[in-house]
Amino acid sequence: MVKGVQTVDVPIHWVNDGEKRLDAGFYAQDVIKARILIDKIKQSLKIQLVSDFSSKIFWPGRFKRHYVSKKRGKPFLMPSEVFMFLPKSTKYVINYPQDVAIKRDWLLISRSGTIGRTLIATKYLEDFVLSDDLIRIIPKESNNGYLYAYLNTWIGQALLTKDQYGVTVKHIEPHHVANIPIPRIPDLEERINQKILEAHKLREEAQELLLKAEEMIYSELGLSRIDEDDVEYFGGEIGKFVRAFGIKASDLDYRLDASYHVPIAHLVVSNLMKSGLGDIKKLKYVASSFVPPRFKRSYVKDPNDGIPLLQGTHIPQIKPLDIKYIWKKMKNLQCYIVNRNWILVTCSGTIGRLALVSDYWSGWAATNHLLRIMPKEEKINPGYLTGFLLSKYGQVQFQRLIYGGVVDEIGEAGELFDDILILKPKEKSVEDKIGSLVIEAYNKKDKANQIEEEAISQVAETLTEIAEME
Protein backbone atom coordinates (compact mmCIF):
# COMPACT_ATOMS: atom_id res chain seq x y z
CA MET A 1 0.00 0.00 0.00
CA VAL A 2 1.29 3.48 -0.84
CA LYS A 3 1.90 5.47 2.32
CA GLY A 4 -0.86 8.02 2.95
CA VAL A 5 -3.28 6.33 0.53
CA GLN A 6 -6.43 4.76 1.98
CA THR A 7 -8.02 1.73 0.33
CA VAL A 8 -11.27 -0.01 1.14
CA ASP A 9 -13.27 -2.97 -0.19
CA VAL A 10 -16.99 -2.43 -0.87
CA PRO A 11 -19.76 -4.90 -1.78
CA ILE A 12 -20.41 -5.05 -5.51
CA HIS A 13 -24.13 -4.39 -4.98
CA TRP A 14 -23.20 -0.92 -3.61
CA VAL A 15 -21.62 -0.17 -6.99
CA ASN A 16 -24.55 -1.59 -8.96
CA ASP A 17 -27.18 0.25 -6.91
CA GLY A 18 -28.40 3.68 -7.95
CA GLU A 19 -26.10 5.70 -10.19
CA LYS A 20 -23.29 3.10 -10.39
CA ARG A 21 -20.69 5.50 -9.05
CA LEU A 22 -17.00 4.72 -9.40
CA ASP A 23 -15.56 7.86 -7.76
CA ALA A 24 -13.74 7.18 -4.49
CA GLY A 25 -15.55 9.90 -2.54
CA PHE A 26 -18.80 7.96 -2.91
CA TYR A 27 -17.20 5.23 -0.76
CA ALA A 28 -15.40 7.38 1.82
CA GLN A 29 -14.89 5.91 5.29
CA ASP A 30 -17.69 7.94 6.89
CA VAL A 31 -20.05 6.96 4.06
CA ILE A 32 -19.28 3.25 4.47
CA LYS A 33 -19.65 3.54 8.23
CA ALA A 34 -23.04 5.25 7.80
CA ARG A 35 -24.27 2.67 5.26
CA ILE A 36 -23.24 -0.24 7.47
CA LEU A 37 -25.03 1.40 10.42
CA ILE A 38 -28.23 1.83 8.37
CA ASP A 39 -28.03 -1.80 7.18
CA LYS A 40 -27.81 -3.01 10.78
CA ILE A 41 -30.65 -0.77 11.96
CA LYS A 42 -32.92 -2.10 9.20
CA GLN A 43 -33.23 -5.33 11.15
CA SER A 44 -35.14 -3.68 13.99
CA LEU A 45 -36.36 -0.28 12.80
CA LYS A 46 -38.54 0.98 9.99
CA ILE A 47 -36.50 2.89 7.40
CA GLN A 48 -38.01 5.60 5.22
CA LEU A 49 -36.57 8.17 2.82
CA VAL A 50 -36.36 11.95 3.05
CA SER A 51 -38.98 12.05 0.31
CA ASP A 52 -41.44 10.37 2.70
CA PHE A 53 -41.05 13.34 5.07
CA SER A 54 -41.57 15.91 2.32
CA SER A 55 -44.31 17.15 0.05
CA LYS A 56 -41.72 18.56 -2.36
CA ILE A 57 -37.94 18.63 -2.75
CA PHE A 58 -36.65 20.97 -5.42
CA TRP A 59 -34.36 23.73 -6.51
CA PRO A 60 -35.63 26.51 -8.81
CA GLY A 61 -33.05 26.03 -11.55
CA ARG A 62 -30.41 28.50 -12.63
CA PHE A 63 -31.66 31.96 -13.53
CA LYS A 64 -30.03 35.08 -14.88
CA ARG A 65 -29.66 37.61 -12.12
CA HIS A 66 -30.63 41.15 -13.07
CA TYR A 67 -28.94 43.29 -10.43
CA VAL A 68 -30.37 46.75 -9.77
CA SER A 69 -30.28 49.42 -7.07
CA LYS A 70 -31.87 48.89 -3.68
CA LYS A 71 -34.80 51.13 -4.57
CA ARG A 72 -35.70 49.07 -7.63
CA GLY A 73 -35.13 45.47 -6.59
CA LYS A 74 -35.69 42.85 -3.92
CA PRO A 75 -32.83 41.82 -1.59
CA PHE A 76 -30.89 38.77 -2.79
CA LEU A 77 -28.91 36.32 -0.67
CA MET A 78 -26.16 33.88 -1.62
CA PRO A 79 -26.01 30.56 0.30
CA SER A 80 -23.24 31.75 2.64
CA GLU A 81 -25.34 34.82 3.53
CA VAL A 82 -28.40 32.68 4.31
CA PHE A 83 -26.48 31.04 7.15
CA MET A 84 -25.61 34.34 8.82
CA PHE A 85 -27.08 35.35 12.18
CA LEU A 86 -28.74 38.39 10.66
CA PRO A 87 -28.44 38.23 6.86
CA LYS A 88 -27.87 41.58 5.16
CA SER A 89 -28.22 41.81 1.40
CA THR A 90 -25.60 43.61 -0.66
CA LYS A 91 -27.32 42.90 -3.99
CA TYR A 92 -30.85 43.45 -5.30
CA VAL A 93 -32.57 41.71 -8.19
CA ILE A 94 -35.59 41.98 -10.45
CA ASN A 95 -37.27 39.60 -12.94
CA TYR A 96 -36.51 36.52 -10.88
CA PRO A 97 -38.50 33.22 -11.04
CA GLN A 98 -41.36 32.99 -8.55
CA ASP A 99 -40.22 29.64 -7.18
CA VAL A 100 -37.06 31.14 -5.66
CA ALA A 101 -39.26 32.44 -2.84
CA ILE A 102 -39.23 30.37 0.35
CA LYS A 103 -41.52 29.98 3.34
CA ARG A 104 -40.85 29.80 7.05
CA ASP A 105 -40.01 26.30 8.38
CA TRP A 106 -38.84 24.95 5.01
CA LEU A 107 -35.50 23.15 5.13
CA LEU A 108 -32.71 24.68 3.05
CA ILE A 109 -29.66 22.65 1.97
CA SER A 110 -26.62 24.07 0.20
CA ARG A 111 -26.23 22.19 -3.10
CA SER A 112 -23.10 23.81 -4.54
CA GLY A 113 -19.61 24.52 -3.24
CA THR A 114 -19.79 23.56 0.43
CA ILE A 115 -22.33 20.75 0.22
CA GLY A 116 -24.92 19.73 2.80
CA ARG A 117 -25.21 22.72 5.11
CA THR A 118 -28.77 22.63 6.40
CA LEU A 119 -31.00 25.29 7.95
CA ILE A 120 -34.65 25.65 8.96
CA ALA A 121 -35.83 28.88 7.33
CA THR A 122 -36.87 31.62 9.74
CA LYS A 123 -39.67 34.06 8.96
CA TYR A 124 -36.99 36.74 8.45
CA LEU A 125 -35.76 34.90 5.31
CA GLU A 126 -39.17 35.16 3.66
CA ASP A 127 -38.33 38.77 2.74
CA PHE A 128 -35.39 37.75 0.51
CA VAL A 129 -34.80 36.19 -2.88
CA LEU A 130 -32.62 33.16 -2.21
CA SER A 131 -29.97 31.71 -4.48
CA ASP A 132 -30.74 28.76 -6.74
CA ASP A 133 -27.80 27.01 -5.06
CA LEU A 134 -30.10 25.98 -2.20
CA ILE A 135 -32.27 22.88 -2.31
CA ARG A 136 -35.69 23.51 -0.79
CA ILE A 137 -37.52 20.84 1.25
CA ILE A 138 -41.20 21.49 1.99
CA PRO A 139 -41.95 19.29 5.03
CA LYS A 140 -45.00 17.03 4.83
CA GLU A 141 -45.22 16.35 8.55
CA SER A 142 -44.84 18.45 11.66
CA ASN A 143 -41.66 16.61 12.69
CA ASN A 144 -39.32 18.56 10.42
CA GLY A 145 -37.18 19.10 13.53
CA TYR A 146 -36.25 15.41 13.58
CA LEU A 147 -35.51 15.47 9.85
CA TYR A 148 -33.28 18.52 10.35
CA ALA A 149 -31.44 16.96 13.30
CA TYR A 150 -30.84 13.69 11.45
CA LEU A 151 -29.43 15.46 8.37
CA ASN A 152 -27.01 17.32 10.65
CA THR A 153 -25.64 14.19 12.35
CA TRP A 154 -22.41 12.69 11.02
CA ILE A 155 -24.62 9.99 9.48
CA GLY A 156 -26.84 12.45 7.64
CA GLN A 157 -23.91 14.57 6.53
CA ALA A 158 -22.04 11.55 5.16
CA LEU A 159 -25.10 10.46 3.16
CA LEU A 160 -25.78 14.03 2.00
CA THR A 161 -22.29 14.66 0.68
CA LYS A 162 -21.51 11.23 -0.82
CA ASP A 163 -23.44 11.99 -4.04
CA GLN A 164 -21.62 15.22 -4.84
CA TYR A 165 -20.22 15.44 -8.33
CA GLY A 166 -18.18 17.90 -10.35
CA VAL A 167 -14.53 18.80 -10.79
CA THR A 168 -14.02 22.45 -9.91
CA VAL A 169 -17.31 23.07 -8.06
CA LYS A 170 -19.17 20.22 -6.39
CA HIS A 171 -22.96 19.83 -6.62
CA ILE A 172 -25.80 17.62 -5.46
CA GLU A 173 -29.34 17.35 -6.83
CA PRO A 174 -32.78 17.09 -5.17
CA HIS A 175 -33.09 13.38 -5.98
CA HIS A 176 -29.87 12.72 -4.05
CA VAL A 177 -31.46 14.28 -0.96
CA ALA A 178 -34.82 12.57 -1.55
CA ASN A 179 -33.25 9.08 -1.46
CA ILE A 180 -31.40 9.44 1.86
CA PRO A 181 -32.63 6.74 4.31
CA ILE A 182 -33.98 7.82 7.71
CA PRO A 183 -34.67 5.44 10.64
CA ARG A 184 -38.05 5.94 12.31
CA ILE A 185 -38.05 5.99 16.13
CA PRO A 186 -41.37 7.59 17.22
CA ASP A 187 -40.44 8.31 20.86
CA LEU A 188 -37.07 9.76 19.95
CA GLU A 189 -38.54 11.74 17.05
CA GLU A 190 -40.98 13.57 19.29
CA ARG A 191 -38.30 14.57 21.85
CA ILE A 192 -35.84 15.67 19.17
CA ASN A 193 -38.51 17.53 17.25
CA GLN A 194 -39.44 19.57 20.32
CA LYS A 195 -35.81 20.44 21.05
CA ILE A 196 -35.10 21.57 17.49
CA LEU A 197 -38.29 23.65 17.34
CA GLU A 198 -37.33 25.26 20.65
CA ALA A 199 -33.91 26.15 19.22
CA HIS A 200 -35.55 27.44 16.03
CA LYS A 201 -37.88 29.67 18.08
CA LEU A 202 -34.95 31.07 20.08
CA ARG A 203 -33.12 31.95 16.86
CA GLU A 204 -36.11 33.83 15.51
CA GLU A 205 -36.43 35.71 18.80
CA ALA A 206 -32.71 36.54 18.69
CA GLN A 207 -33.03 37.96 15.17
CA GLU A 208 -36.03 40.05 16.22
CA LEU A 209 -34.08 41.47 19.18
CA LEU A 210 -31.14 42.41 16.97
CA LEU A 211 -33.44 44.08 14.44
CA LYS A 212 -35.17 46.00 17.24
CA ALA A 213 -31.82 47.18 18.61
CA GLU A 214 -30.76 48.34 15.13
CA GLU A 215 -34.00 50.24 14.66
CA MET A 216 -33.55 51.95 18.06
CA ILE A 217 -30.02 53.07 17.14
CA TYR A 218 -31.48 54.99 14.20
CA SER A 219 -34.61 56.28 15.90
CA GLU A 220 -33.18 57.17 19.32
CA LEU A 221 -30.11 58.90 17.86
CA GLY A 222 -31.88 60.66 15.01
CA LEU A 223 -29.79 58.92 12.36
CA SER A 224 -31.13 58.29 8.87
CA ARG A 225 -30.68 54.96 7.12
CA ILE A 226 -28.10 55.33 4.37
CA ASP A 227 -26.76 53.33 1.44
CA GLU A 228 -24.98 53.91 -1.87
CA ASP A 229 -28.20 55.18 -3.46
CA ASP A 230 -27.93 58.27 -1.24
CA VAL A 231 -24.51 59.19 -2.61
CA GLU A 232 -23.92 61.53 -5.52
CA TYR A 233 -21.21 60.71 -8.06
CA PHE A 234 -19.95 62.58 -11.11
CA GLY A 235 -22.26 61.92 -14.03
CA GLY A 236 -25.43 61.23 -12.03
CA GLU A 237 -26.85 57.71 -12.46
CA ILE A 238 -24.25 56.82 -15.10
CA GLY A 239 -21.50 57.95 -12.75
CA LYS A 240 -22.63 55.46 -10.10
CA PHE A 241 -21.35 52.61 -12.24
CA VAL A 242 -17.78 53.95 -12.18
CA ARG A 243 -18.17 55.75 -8.84
CA ALA A 244 -16.19 58.83 -9.77
CA PHE A 245 -15.89 61.53 -7.11
CA GLY A 246 -13.61 64.34 -6.03
CA ILE A 247 -11.74 64.97 -2.78
CA LYS A 248 -10.05 68.07 -1.40
CA ALA A 249 -6.30 67.87 -0.81
CA SER A 250 -6.89 69.07 2.74
CA ASP A 251 -9.07 66.00 3.43
CA LEU A 252 -6.58 63.37 2.22
CA ASP A 253 -5.44 62.49 5.76
CA TYR A 254 -2.25 60.95 4.31
CA ARG A 255 -4.35 58.31 2.48
CA LEU A 256 -4.25 58.15 -1.33
CA ASP A 257 -6.39 55.02 -1.75
CA ALA A 258 -9.87 55.78 -3.10
CA SER A 259 -11.66 53.39 -0.70
CA TYR A 260 -10.71 55.60 2.23
CA HIS A 261 -12.46 58.61 0.69
CA VAL A 262 -15.67 57.08 -0.71
CA PRO A 263 -18.55 59.60 -0.42
CA ILE A 264 -20.63 57.32 1.83
CA ALA A 265 -17.86 57.45 4.43
CA HIS A 266 -18.05 61.25 4.47
CA LEU A 267 -21.85 61.00 4.66
CA VAL A 268 -21.51 58.78 7.75
CA VAL A 269 -19.24 61.26 9.49
CA SER A 270 -21.46 64.17 8.50
CA ASN A 271 -24.63 62.52 9.84
CA LEU A 272 -22.93 61.56 13.09
CA MET A 273 -21.78 65.12 13.62
CA LYS A 274 -25.27 66.47 12.96
CA SER A 275 -27.00 64.24 15.49
CA GLY A 276 -28.14 66.22 18.50
CA LEU A 277 -29.17 63.15 20.48
CA GLY A 278 -25.74 61.68 21.14
CA ASP A 279 -22.14 62.45 21.97
CA ILE A 280 -19.29 61.61 19.58
CA LYS A 281 -16.54 59.48 21.13
CA LYS A 282 -13.57 57.85 19.45
CA LEU A 283 -13.26 54.10 19.85
CA LYS A 284 -10.02 54.46 21.80
CA TYR A 285 -11.93 56.41 24.46
CA VAL A 286 -14.54 53.70 25.10
CA ALA A 287 -12.53 50.51 24.35
CA SER A 288 -9.08 49.06 23.91
CA SER A 289 -8.20 46.70 21.09
CA PHE A 290 -5.49 44.34 19.85
CA VAL A 291 -4.72 41.63 17.31
CA PRO A 292 -2.60 38.71 18.59
CA PRO A 293 0.49 37.63 16.63
CA ARG A 294 0.42 34.89 14.01
CA PHE A 295 0.79 31.37 15.39
CA LYS A 296 1.20 27.79 14.25
CA ARG A 297 -2.05 25.96 14.89
CA SER A 298 -1.73 22.56 16.52
CA TYR A 299 -5.08 20.90 15.79
CA VAL A 300 -6.36 17.87 17.70
CA LYS A 301 -9.12 15.43 16.71
CA ASP A 302 -10.38 14.72 20.22
CA PRO A 303 -12.24 17.77 21.63
CA ASN A 304 -11.17 16.68 25.12
CA ASP A 305 -7.56 17.42 24.17
CA GLY A 306 -8.25 20.93 22.88
CA ILE A 307 -10.44 23.99 22.89
CA PRO A 308 -12.68 25.34 20.08
CA LEU A 309 -11.04 27.78 17.67
CA LEU A 310 -13.13 30.59 16.22
CA GLN A 311 -12.19 31.62 12.69
CA GLY A 312 -13.33 34.56 10.60
CA THR A 313 -16.05 32.56 8.83
CA HIS A 314 -17.68 31.70 12.17
CA ILE A 315 -18.22 35.28 13.30
CA PRO A 316 -21.34 36.17 11.27
CA GLN A 317 -22.83 32.65 11.20
CA ILE A 318 -26.05 31.82 13.00
CA LYS A 319 -24.29 28.63 14.07
CA PRO A 320 -20.49 28.12 13.89
CA LEU A 321 -19.90 25.39 11.32
CA ASP A 322 -16.94 23.03 11.03
CA ILE A 323 -15.37 24.01 14.34
CA LYS A 324 -11.81 22.77 14.83
CA TYR A 325 -9.97 22.30 18.13
CA ILE A 326 -6.45 23.42 18.96
CA TRP A 327 -4.25 21.69 21.49
CA LYS A 328 -4.96 23.00 24.99
CA LYS A 329 -1.25 22.79 25.92
CA MET A 330 -0.12 24.91 22.96
CA LYS A 331 2.54 27.50 23.76
CA ASN A 332 1.19 31.02 24.47
CA LEU A 333 -2.38 29.77 24.14
CA GLN A 334 -3.63 32.40 26.59
CA CYS A 335 -2.90 35.13 24.01
CA TYR A 336 -5.67 33.74 21.83
CA ILE A 337 -8.37 33.11 24.45
CA VAL A 338 -11.40 35.43 24.24
CA ASN A 339 -13.55 36.61 27.12
CA ARG A 340 -17.17 37.56 27.75
CA ASN A 341 -18.31 40.93 26.32
CA TRP A 342 -15.34 41.24 23.99
CA ILE A 343 -16.20 42.08 20.38
CA LEU A 344 -14.52 40.04 17.63
CA VAL A 345 -14.09 41.70 14.23
CA THR A 346 -12.80 40.13 11.01
CA CYS A 347 -9.72 42.08 9.92
CA SER A 348 -8.55 40.01 6.95
CA GLY A 349 -10.44 38.87 3.86
CA THR A 350 -14.05 40.00 4.36
CA ILE A 351 -13.62 42.99 6.64
CA GLY A 352 -15.81 44.25 9.47
CA ARG A 353 -17.99 41.24 10.30
CA LEU A 354 -18.33 41.12 14.05
CA ALA A 355 -19.93 39.36 16.99
CA LEU A 356 -20.22 39.78 20.74
CA VAL A 357 -18.58 37.09 22.88
CA SER A 358 -21.24 35.57 25.12
CA ASP A 359 -20.77 33.27 28.11
CA TYR A 360 -20.88 30.33 25.68
CA TRP A 361 -17.90 31.52 23.62
CA SER A 362 -15.96 32.85 26.60
CA GLY A 363 -12.82 30.76 27.05
CA TRP A 364 -12.67 29.71 23.40
CA ALA A 365 -9.65 30.56 21.27
CA ALA A 366 -9.80 32.81 18.21
CA THR A 367 -7.54 33.16 15.20
CA ASN A 368 -5.12 36.06 14.77
CA HIS A 369 -7.30 37.26 11.86
CA LEU A 370 -9.83 38.54 14.39
CA LEU A 371 -9.48 41.93 16.02
CA ARG A 372 -10.37 41.96 19.72
CA ILE A 373 -12.26 45.02 20.95
CA MET A 374 -12.53 45.18 24.74
CA PRO A 375 -15.19 47.71 25.83
CA LYS A 376 -14.45 49.78 28.90
CA GLU A 377 -17.70 48.91 30.64
CA GLU A 378 -17.60 51.96 32.88
CA LYS A 379 -17.70 54.10 29.71
CA ILE A 380 -19.95 52.14 27.33
CA ASN A 381 -22.36 49.22 27.32
CA PRO A 382 -20.71 46.31 25.40
CA GLY A 383 -24.02 45.40 23.79
CA TYR A 384 -24.59 48.95 22.61
CA LEU A 385 -21.08 49.20 21.15
CA THR A 386 -21.68 45.91 19.30
CA GLY A 387 -25.01 47.15 17.92
CA PHE A 388 -23.53 50.46 16.77
CA LEU A 389 -20.57 48.78 15.03
CA LEU A 390 -22.99 46.36 13.33
CA SER A 391 -24.99 49.28 11.93
CA LYS A 392 -24.17 50.96 8.63
CA TYR A 393 -22.51 53.77 10.59
CA GLY A 394 -20.02 51.33 12.07
CA GLN A 395 -19.57 49.08 9.04
CA VAL A 396 -18.72 51.90 6.64
CA GLN A 397 -16.00 53.12 9.01
CA PHE A 398 -14.42 49.66 9.06
CA GLN A 399 -14.63 49.40 5.27
CA ARG A 400 -12.81 52.67 4.66
CA LEU A 401 -9.78 51.40 6.61
CA ILE A 402 -9.16 48.55 4.17
CA TYR A 403 -5.84 48.27 2.38
CA GLY A 404 -4.13 45.55 0.40
CA GLY A 405 -4.10 44.18 -3.12
CA VAL A 406 -5.00 40.49 -3.32
CA VAL A 407 -6.37 40.09 0.24
CA ASP A 408 -8.13 42.94 2.01
CA GLU A 409 -6.62 43.85 5.38
CA ILE A 410 -7.12 46.38 8.13
CA GLY A 411 -3.87 45.46 9.81
CA GLU A 412 -2.68 45.53 13.38
CA ALA A 413 -4.72 47.34 16.00
CA GLY A 414 -3.61 50.85 16.69
CA GLU A 415 -4.46 54.26 15.41
CA LEU A 416 -6.34 52.75 12.43
CA PHE A 417 -9.10 51.67 14.81
CA ASP A 418 -8.60 54.30 17.48
CA ASP A 419 -10.31 57.02 15.46
CA ILE A 420 -13.52 55.12 14.57
CA LEU A 421 -16.35 57.39 15.69
CA ILE A 422 -18.95 56.09 18.15
CA LEU A 423 -22.20 57.96 18.79
CA LYS A 424 -23.25 57.46 22.42
CA PRO A 425 -26.84 58.37 23.43
CA LYS A 426 -27.02 61.30 25.78
CA GLU A 427 -29.32 59.28 28.02
CA LYS A 428 -27.63 56.28 29.64
CA SER A 429 -30.98 54.49 29.90
CA VAL A 430 -31.29 54.48 26.09
CA GLU A 431 -27.78 53.08 25.69
CA ASP A 432 -28.45 50.33 28.23
CA LYS A 433 -31.79 49.42 26.69
CA ILE A 434 -30.23 49.00 23.25
CA GLY A 435 -27.28 47.17 24.76
CA SER A 436 -29.46 44.73 26.69
CA LEU A 437 -31.34 43.83 23.48
CA VAL A 438 -28.08 43.00 21.71
CA ILE A 439 -26.70 40.97 24.63
CA GLU A 440 -29.96 39.03 24.94
CA ALA A 441 -29.93 38.35 21.19
CA TYR A 442 -26.49 36.75 21.33
CA ASN A 443 -27.37 34.76 24.45
CA LYS A 444 -30.51 33.40 22.78
CA LYS A 445 -28.55 32.50 19.64
CA ASP A 446 -25.98 30.58 21.65
CA LYS A 447 -28.63 28.90 23.80
CA ALA A 448 -30.32 27.74 20.59
CA ASN A 449 -27.03 26.31 19.33
CA GLN A 450 -26.45 24.41 22.57
CA ILE A 451 -29.95 22.88 22.48
CA GLU A 452 -29.51 21.94 18.84
CA GLU A 453 -26.12 20.33 19.36
CA GLU A 454 -27.51 18.24 22.23
CA ALA A 455 -30.40 17.07 20.03
CA ILE A 456 -28.14 16.18 17.09
CA SER A 457 -25.75 14.27 19.37
CA GLN A 458 -28.66 12.41 20.94
CA VAL A 459 -29.89 11.23 17.52
CA ALA A 460 -26.41 10.03 16.48
CA GLU A 461 -25.74 8.30 19.81
CA THR A 462 -29.12 6.55 19.85
CA LEU A 463 -28.73 5.21 16.31
CA THR A 464 -25.19 4.05 17.04
CA GLU A 465 -26.33 2.20 20.18
CA ILE A 466 -29.13 0.46 18.27
CA ALA A 467 -26.73 -0.61 15.52
CA GLU A 468 -24.25 -2.01 18.06
CA MET A 469 -26.99 -4.17 19.58
CA GLU A 470 -27.72 -5.88 16.27
Q: What is the pLDDT of residue 319?
A: 92
Contact assessment for residue 338 and residue 314, using Cβ atoms and an 8 Å cutoff: no
Q: What is the pLDDT of residue 19?
A: 62
Structure confidence by residue, pLDDT tens digits, 153-206: 999 999 998 887 776 777 889 999 999 999 999 889 999 999 999 999 999 999
12-184 and 212-223+275-446: identical CATH topology: yes
Positions of the chain with pLDDT under 50: 1, 413
Q: What is the pLDDT of residue 1?
A: 47
Q: What is the pLDDT of residue 3?
A: 57
Give the CATH number of domain 212-223+275-446; options: 3.90.220.20, 3.40.50.720, 1.10.540.10, 3.20.20.70.
Answer: 3.90.220.20
Q: What is the pLDDT of residue 14?
A: 66
Please state the domain extents for the chain: 12-184, 212-223+275-446
Contact assessment for residue 127 and residue 9, using Cβ atoms and an 8 Å cutoff: no
Homologous superfamily (CATH) for 12-184: DNA methylase specificity domains (3.90.220.20)
